């Protein structure tokens, strides 16, 4: 029987090593693993990706780890992680895809490590691919993989989905291996991107792409939000901030997320009114990538200086578990979410799915989600005045208007759900002549 071979840098599990040398596999968060997990659970599939460790494991260590069935881990050494993940992928590609200049200049050793890592992925795929299997590769880190698979003369159908925005051609001079990346993306049967703007950007590189806006598992969020432990978390939050509207932001530590601008908008708002609290959680991310630790320090300093004047921000820097995330989303009256650029931004959709009571989302026009969540208050992410004005509008919005907007948002998010996303991509991929 033919299977789906999912390939991504991140797996739905990450392996960690205990001080006693024992290995443990734990669930990973993030848009990509969460999105693909639903497909992985339903369809006969295998999933190839990095262990998440900055060191190689021996075959004996790997086989002693209790990994879910169908997971095939790729071992990388510390140097390979630094050169492939931290420098090439997140020091160069990630900023360029988000409209920011590259953070590092690549060296010969980086290109060498990149080739080794790509071959590691390709070898793992070639080893297990059977005729009729469909290969679905994900995200910017692996853009060069399709042409390598074609080089191996793998006849299977290959799909590629880019979770980030597609980059504009103004970055051509900073993008390494430009021709190779374009050739590689030309080698796939279906090239999927998030929204219409990404199709246009891909076209400017001479690539034919189609948009498949990623969604969330609406029913799951809606159901979990009614569970007793989530209800308790929600009640606790409401009691912690009596009589206040809760403005909240939940994001990964990343300069693309506009966290400092959000804090500036909160400071401006707090100067004239205090009928709200700002609950900000930043999830630790890419801490060893250049610039992320500085961003963390800048956020901590900005929060402290605002709280000195107006003690209005409840800030945490941690990975919240599922119960905590859903409780918080359920309690969030206004979501403040203004990334400078974002492929989709699933937390906006998760809020809509997790909360039945009307709420408001102040959403960046540069998030892919703004294409679909048109009943949010859409703002330019670099316009502090507009963001603050939208927050005021949200705080003062009538119940009727909120309810009307929220109903439309719930309808859309329920319809354009995660199932629809992967079914439409897989239908196109299996229908290509290959
Ligand atoms: O497309 C961006 C993305 O892969 C998201 O799906 C995910 O949340 C984020 O990047 C995580 O990044 P990393 O794998 O570097 O932790």
pLDDT tens digits for range 77-98: 999 999 999 999 999 999 999 9
- CA-nearest of 140, 129, 131, 122 to 5 is 129
Top mutation candidate among 6, 31, 89, 216 for ligand 1, by most atoms within 8 Å of CB? 31
Task: Check pLDDT > 60 for residue 63.
Answer: yes
Which atom of ligand 1 is closest in space to residue 94's alpha carbon?
A: 2
Residue nearest to atom 4 of ligand 1 (CA): 32
Q: How far is the CA of 9 from the centre of ligand 1 (A)?
A: 9
* Banded model confidence at residue 58, pLDDT cuts 50, 70, 90: confident
pLDDT of residue 177: 96
Quick one: pLDDT at residue 26?
87
Segment 155-195, tens digit of pLDDT: 999 999 999 999 989 889 999 999 999 999 999 999 999 99
Banded pLDDT at 17 (limits 50, 70, 90) = confident
* Ligand 1: centre distance to CA 139 (Å): 9
266 vs 268: CA distance, rounded Å: 5
pLDDT at 278 over 60: yes
Give the model confidence (pLDDT) of 189-219 as tens digits.
999 999 999 999 999 999 999 999 999 999 9
Q: Report the run of H or E that residue 17 belongs to, with start and end.
A: strand 13-17
**Residues near ligand 1 with C-beta < 6 Å?**
10, 30-32, 139, 163-164, 285-286, 343
Nearest ligand 1 atom to the CA of 85 is: 15
Tell me which residue has its CA closest to atom 11 in ligand 1.
30
**Residue in 376, 371, 411, 368 with CA at minimum distance from that of residue 394:** 376
Select from 8, 30, 214, 341 the residue to mutate for testing ligand 1; criterion: most ligand atoms less than 8 Å from CB: 30
Q: How confident is residue 18, by pLDDT bands cut at 50, 70 and 90?
A: confident
Which two tokens mark 228?
């007793």
Backbone angles phi, psi at 247, to 5 degrees: -95, 130
In this structure, are residues 102 and 110 in contact, taking their beta carbons and an 8 Å threshold?
A: no
Say what the pLDDT of residue 181 is. 97
Ligand 1 center–CA 23 separation, angstroms:
23
pLDDT tens string 108-121: 999 999 999 999 99
What sign results for the dihedral spanned by CA atoms 306, 312, 316, 322? negative
Q: What is the pLDDT of residue 433?
A: 66
Sign, Cα dihedral of 430, 195, 221, 14: positive
Average of per-residue pLDDT across 255-266: 98
**Residue whose CB lies within 8 A of the most ligand 1 atoms, among 7, 8, 9, 10, for a mutation test:** 10
Å from CA of 251 to ligand 1 middle:
11
Q: Are strands 45-50 and 71-74 parallel, antiparallel or unpaired?
A: parallel
Beta strands of 210-311 (E only): which ranges? 210-211, 245-252, 276-283
Distance (Å) from CA 8 to ligand 1 centroid: 10
Distance 400 CA to ligand 1 centre (A): 37
Q: List Cα–Cα distances, 161 to 29, 77, 202, in angstroms.
A: 19, 26, 12
Which neighbouring-strand residues pair with 259?
A: none
Pairing assessment for the beta strands 313-317 and 334-337 based on DSSP bridges:
unpaired
Among protein residues, the one with the nearest Cα to ligand 1's atom 15 is 286
User: Which of the listed residues 163, 165, 348 should we mutate to test ligand 1's pocket, taking the one with most ligand atoms within 8 A of CB?
Assistant: 163
Tell me what percent of the residues of the chain surpass a pLDDT of 70. Answer: 99
Q: Which two tokens stand for residue 206?
A: 């001479």
The band of 23, judged by pLDDT with boundaries at 50, 70 and 90, is confident
Instruction: Calculate the average pLDDT of the chain.
Output: 95
CA distance 37 to 70: 12
CA of 238 to the centre of ligand 1 (A): 31
Query: Is the pLDDT reported for residue 434 higher than 60?
Result: no
Q: What is the pLDDT of residue 293?
A: 97
């Amino acid at each position: 029987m033919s299977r789906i071979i999912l390939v991504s840098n991140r797996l739905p599990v990450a392996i960690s090593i205990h001080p006693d040398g024992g290995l443990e596999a734990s669930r990973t968060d993030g848009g990509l693993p969460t999105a693909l997990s639903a497909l992985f659970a339903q369809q006969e599939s295998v999933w190839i990706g990095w262990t998440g460790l900055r060191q190689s494991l021996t075959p004996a260590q790997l086989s002693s780890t209790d990994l879910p069935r169908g997971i095939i881990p790729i071992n990388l050494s510390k140097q390979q992680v630094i050169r492939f993940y931290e420098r090439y992928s997140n020091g160069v590609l990630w900023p360029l895809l988000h409209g920011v200049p590259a953070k590092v200049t690549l060296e010969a050793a980086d290109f060498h490590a990149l080739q080794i890592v790509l071959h590691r992925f390709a070898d793992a795929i070639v080893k297990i691919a059977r005729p009729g299997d469909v290969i679905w590769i994900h995200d910017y880190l692996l853009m060069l993989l399709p042409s390598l698979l074609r080089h191996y003369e793998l006849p299977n159908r290959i799909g590629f989905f880019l979770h980030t925005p597609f980059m504009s051609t103004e970055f051509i001079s900073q993008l390494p291996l430009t021709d190779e990346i374009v050739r590689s993306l030309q080698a796939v049967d279906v090239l999927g991107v998030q929204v219409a703007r990404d199709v246009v950007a891909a076209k400017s590189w001479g690539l034919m792409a189609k948009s498949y806006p990623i969604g969330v598992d609406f029913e799951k969020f809606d159901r979990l939000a009614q569970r007793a432990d989530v209800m308790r978390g929600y009640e606790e939050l409401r009691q912690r901030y009596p009589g206040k509207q809760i403005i909240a932001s939940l994001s990964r530590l990343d300069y693309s997320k506009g966290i400092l601008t959000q804090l500036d908008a909160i400071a401006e708002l707090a100067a004239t009114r205090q009928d709200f609290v700002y609950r900000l959680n930043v999830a630790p991310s890419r801490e060893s990538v250049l610039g992320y630790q500085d961003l963390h320090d800048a956020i901590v300093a900005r929060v402290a200086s605002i709280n000195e004047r107006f003690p209005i921000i409840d800030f945490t820097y941690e990975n919240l578990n599922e119960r905590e995330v859903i409780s918080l989303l359920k309690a969030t009256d206004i979501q403040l979410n203004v990334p400078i650029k974002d492929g989709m931004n699933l937390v906006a959709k998760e809020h809509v799915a997790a909360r039945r009571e009307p709420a408001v989302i102040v959403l960046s026009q540069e998030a892919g989600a703004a294409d679909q969540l048109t009943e949010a208050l859409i703002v330019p992410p670099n316009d502090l005045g507009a963001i603050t004005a939208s927050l005021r509008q949200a705080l003062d919005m009538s119940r009727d208007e909120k309810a009307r907007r929220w109903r439309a948002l719930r309808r859309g998010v329920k319809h354009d759900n995660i199932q629809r996303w992967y079914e439409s991509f897989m239908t196109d991929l299996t229908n290509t002549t290959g």
